[in-house]
Amino acid sequence: MSQPESAVADSRAGDRADGTSPNGKESLSALAERHGLRRAIARPSLPVYLRQLWDRRHFVLTYATSRNVSRYSDSALGQLWQVLTPLLNAGVYYLMFGVILGQKADITNYTAFLITGVFVYSYTQRSITGGAKSISGNLSLIRALHFPRAALPLAYTIQEFQQLAISMGVLVVIVLVTGESFSWMWLLIPFALLLQTIFNVGMSLLLARVGAFVRDMNQLLPFILRTWLYTSGVFYSIPAKMKGGPDWARFLLEFNPPSVFIDLMRHLLLETYPEDLAKHGFPHSSLPQLWLYAGFWAAVALIGGFWYFWRAEERYGRG
């Protein structure tokens, strides 16, 4: 704040109920209010904030695209790493979990099953990681320009969505090559990705505020996401693993947000996956249940994350 604005803010502590200062004169805060002045960094109302964010949609899209272009500019393979990284991870997971630990025994098309899980989980993982650093990593931009701070975590999620669009093209090829056939259920894939994107936006906003004020979050986040990875059924079938186990434990694992989006995508993409579950008699969530769970998590994450982020709007970049 400028010096007059600081004086206005500091004078409020000593104002009386009638708007006068202790010496009986009109306080600076009352004077500013009478002339329609307000703090430059005051948080706008939620409807105004949403309108400001919409007005800057072109900035958000351009910022996300430019980050994607520059992300691998120093590497020889460039944008290919967007696909190669999750594919190489999937190769390691296939060897460790599919071959050595024998997780592919219950899955007919384990290759497509695993790569689907890796791609879907990586989308959420990278969105959250980027969102957590979106404020703390752009302090110079925040302090130099006035714009809704929610534009930054939103841009990071859009950046990851652009990468996912390429990965999904590769995934479709892999699914077809490994023996699956095209199904009308594939037409529902954009709606599943939309719900996951909404969830990712909400989580990015939530972690953006946490990362802005809790400096150790960026050190803790990799461990949290790794634990989330192992409990989300990326390498194994949760119904198969939990058969005969307590129902509440199976429900918690299947209700876990990444598990929901991964399982939903497998049901849509792989005809053999629901057939495997039925053939082996594994208890599992039905497709309508998965849509319900996905909608629930998308709504909760977006509403809760946006409100939580907006509440600290005037604090970002200060100090």
Q: Taking each helix axis as running N to C, give the angle between helix 110-133 and helix 257-269, from 0 to 180 degrees, rounded to the nearest 10.
A: 140
Q: Given a cut of 70, is residue 129 above it in pLDDT?
A: yes
Across all residues in the chain, what is the average pLDDT?
82
The lowest-confidence range among 51-60, 74-83, 101-110 is 74-83
pLDDT for 80-110, tens place per residue? 666 677 777 777 777 776 666 666 777 888 8
222 close to 80: Cβ distance less than 8 angstroms: no
C-alpha torsion angle, residues 146, 60, 49, 214 (rounded to 10): -80
Q: Given a cut of 60, is residue 13 above it in pLDDT?
A: no
Q: How confident is the model at residue 30 (pLDDT cuts 50, 70, 90)?
A: low
Q: How confident is the model at residue 239 (pLDDT cuts 50, 70, 90)?
A: confident
CA–CA separation, 259 and 266 (whole Å): 10
Higher pLDDT residue, 248 or 194? 194
* The predicted structure's pLDDT at residue 3: 44
* The predicted structure's pLDDT at residue 319: 53
* The predicted structure's pLDDT at residue 12: 46
Whole-number Cα distances in Å, 292 to 195, 201, 205, 249, 257 = 11, 19, 23, 19, 12
Q: For 64-175, where are the E strands, in sequence order?
A: none
pLDDT for 131-171, tens place per residue? 999 998 888 888 888 888 999 999 999 999 988 888 888 88
What percent of the chain stands above pLDDT 90? 37
User: Average pLDDT for residues 283-302, to the nearest whole number?
Assistant: 92
CA–CA separation, 295 and 195 (whole Å): 6
* The predicted structure's pLDDT at residue 101: 64
* Phi, psi of 54, rounded to the nearest 5 degrees: -65, -40
* The predicted structure's pLDDT at residue 28: 60
Question: Please, which contacts does 274-279 make with residues 24 or more away whose CB atoms are closer than 8 Å?
Answer: 275/108, 276/106, 276/107, 276/108, 276/237, 277/237, 277/239, 277/240
- Return all residues near 30 (Cβ < 8 A) that are at least 6 apart: 15, 19, 20
- Return all residues near 178 (Cβ < 8 A) that are at least 6 apart: 109, 111, 112
User: Average pLDDT for residues 159-186, to the nearest whole number?
Assistant: 87
